[in-house]
Amino acid sequence: MSGSDGARPGAARGGGRGGGSDGHGGSESGGRARQLDAERLELGGGLEVLLQAALAGMAPGEQVEVVTRSRAVALELPGWARLEGHAAAEPRRVERRGAGGATAAATGGREPSAAAPPERDRGRWAVRLRRGPGSRVAVATDPHATRPGAAPHAHAGDRRAAAPGTATPGTATPGTATPGTAAPGTAAPGAAAPGGPPPPPLRDGGRFHTADVRGGGAAPPVPDAAARAAGLAPLGALPEPGAPAFDWPLHRRDQLWADDVAELAEQATAEQWDATADVPWAEAGRLAEPLDRAVGQVMTFIAQNEYAALYVPAAFLPQVHPAYPEALQWLAGHVHDEARHVEVFTKRALLCREPGHALAATELSLRTLLDEHDFTNAALLLNVLGEGTFLDLLRFVERHAPDPATAAAARLAHRDERRHVHFGISHVRHALAGDPERRAALVSAAEQRAAKLTELTGLSPLLTEGLTIIAAGSLRPAALSDGAAAVRGLLATMEENRIRRLRAAGFDAATATRLSELHTPNLM
């Protein structure tokens, strides 16, 4: 319901000057106050929301006159205002309707006559509020201020980057619209808000890509380092002091970053697939022996390795500082991919007549991978070397698969692994570019792993035989000869491509060859 003057509900209107005679103290008088029509809203029933929205857009000392139909609400308002840090005058009666609709003079808050109409018909009450100097949430007032212990940020452009625990230029003060969002009646996303930085850009079709979240100025650039003790503040948010201290081991850019990590995270979302519906399971069929047994063993081997590929990135997720949400999204997508790989290859193995063997040699190799707790070392050992080698294995399985289901599982997993390998190469290259001395530590990590695997002399015969039979398609001698040659060619291709990927990651030819030779015979 609108007010008697025709203003829309909740609308603030310009008011006249108050005076001492209206019941306001001297500090309240003489100031022009906007008028806010609260209609019949009550505290606890929406009125406090309307009041906070109005006060948020006001500077300290500015006034608003709240008009309500309820005397009870008017009497409650001064107490509410004081609790919120604002000043308030005593309620005053602003008008009263007689039986014929005529208005009477203000009564100064006196109790209406017992013969008067019910309260809802008795006119209106006004309470003048003056905004206090405080804020509902304690935030840094200096947009360049940092929480104690925060490190400087070099990648700032024209704005200093701020990790969670800092305020950033252009961020909204409490109660104002956040940059990049559109309040009712304001510009839509993609348009700059008056007085604030432009929001992140949208791409064709209105798409908001992860790679663009730091564009426009609403969010800080990627920090070189973030305050290790800072909390769970989303990108661009203003953290309130007093939160508990956290401890993020991965709180520096050089520890976890890749220049295209945001685009890779976006690709992972766009390229999701369903291990239940996107594989033609009905076409798996029952293969002849020993082809069926060979497929079961190879699928079991791949699934066994995919468990390690899942657990390694999962272990790093709770270590990543929230100032790097792109890296978090990437790791979460990586984990999701690997869980789906475990699912799809386990399903294919279960369709075979006999169970495959989870090999002890594979367990030994994978255990050494799980024991690596340095992010960059793990990226080299898992993403570049392990998953890189598996790219060639999956392509081999797809090419020689005896049925469409096996081929589809290998093809879809290969698509995911290609992203994982790309990230590993990009991250290791980024780390080496920032610290060339890191090269020795990476080689040392590969040497230490290899030293734990000296008892492994090559691929398990069960795996080699399985791959040979899959490539041969039968036990005919001529076919087996071709299958064995194909497996030898696979191993040569794996070595050649490992060296190529290591060169792309920033290693010289000699070091790349050395790292390839150190790689586990288990492939992952």
- Which residues on neighbouring strands pair with residue 93, listed in sequence order? 125
Range of the domain at 55: 34-94
Give pLDDT, residue 460.
93
The proportion of the chain whose per-residue pLDDT surpasses 90, expressed as a percent, equals 72
Q: Is 183 helix (H, G, I), strand (E, B) or coil?
A: coil
Q: In the Cβ-directed half-sphere of 142, how many Cα atoms lie within 13 Å? A: 5
Which of 94, 121, 138 terminates a domain? The answer is: 94
Do the domain assignments include residue 146? no
Question: What per-residue confidence (pLDDT) applies to 484?
Answer: 98
Report the C-alpha gap between 369 and 495 in whole angstroms: 19
Burial track 20-48 (b if 16+ CB lie within 10 A, e otherwise):
eebbbeeebbeeebbbbbbbebebeeebe
**CATH number of the domain that 496 lies in?**
1.10.620.20
Q: What is the pLDDT along the chain (524 residues), one digit of tens a residue?
A: 434 344 444 555 554 333 333 333 334 444 678 999 999 999 999 999 999 999 998 999 999 999 999 999 999 999 999 999 999 999 999 865 544 444 444 444 444 444 444 544 457 999 999 999 988 887 654 333 343 333 433 333 333 333 333 333 333 333 333 333 333 333 444 454 555 778 999 999 999 999 999 998 889 999 999 999 999 999 999 999 989 999 999 999 999 999 999 999 999 999 999 999 999 999 998 899 999 999 999 999 999 999 999 999 999 999 999 999 999 999 999 999 999 999 999 999 999 999 999 999 999 999 999 999 999 999 999 999 999 999 999 999 999 999 999 999 999 999 999 999 999 999 999 999 999 999 999 999 999 999 999 988 889 999 999 999 999 999 999 999 999 999 999 999 999 999 999 999 999 999 999 999 999 999 99
**How would DSSP label each residue in 89-141?**
PPPEEEEEE-TTSPEEPP-TTPPPPTTSPPGGGS-EEEEEEE--S--SS---S
Of 94, 121, 143, which residue is a domain's last? 94
The residue among 79, 94, 109 that closes a domain is: 94
Whole-model pTM: value is 0.78
Q: Is residue 363 part of a domain?
A: yes
Identify the three-state secondary structure at position 63: strand
For 91-133, how does the pLDDT look when each residue is reduced to its tens digit (9 = 90+)?
999 865 544 444 444 444 444 444 444 544 457 999 999 999 9
Residue 339 lies in a domain: yes
Within-domain flag for 413: yes
* pLDDT on residue 194: 55
Name, in order, each residue with C-beta under 8 angstroms of 265's C-beta and a sequence gap of 6 or more. 210, 326, 329, 330, 333
User: Could you tell me the two tokens for 29?
Assistant: 């008088």
φ, ψ dihedrals at 149, nearest 5° = 95, -10
Look at residue 205 and tell me if it is in a domain: no
Return the exposure string of 405-426: e unless at least 16 CB atoms fall within 10 Å of the residue's CB, then b.
Answer: bbbbbbbbbbebbbbbbbbbbb
Confirm whether 133 is domain-assigned: no
State the burial class of residue 55 (Cβ atoms within 10 Å of its Cβ: 0-12, 13-18, 19+): buried
**Is residue 1 assigned to a domain?**
no
Structural domains counted in the chain? 2
Residue 145 domain flag: no
Distance CA 255, CA 435 (A): 11
- Residue 117 is predicted with a pLDDT of 46
Residue 166 carries which DSSP code? Answer: S
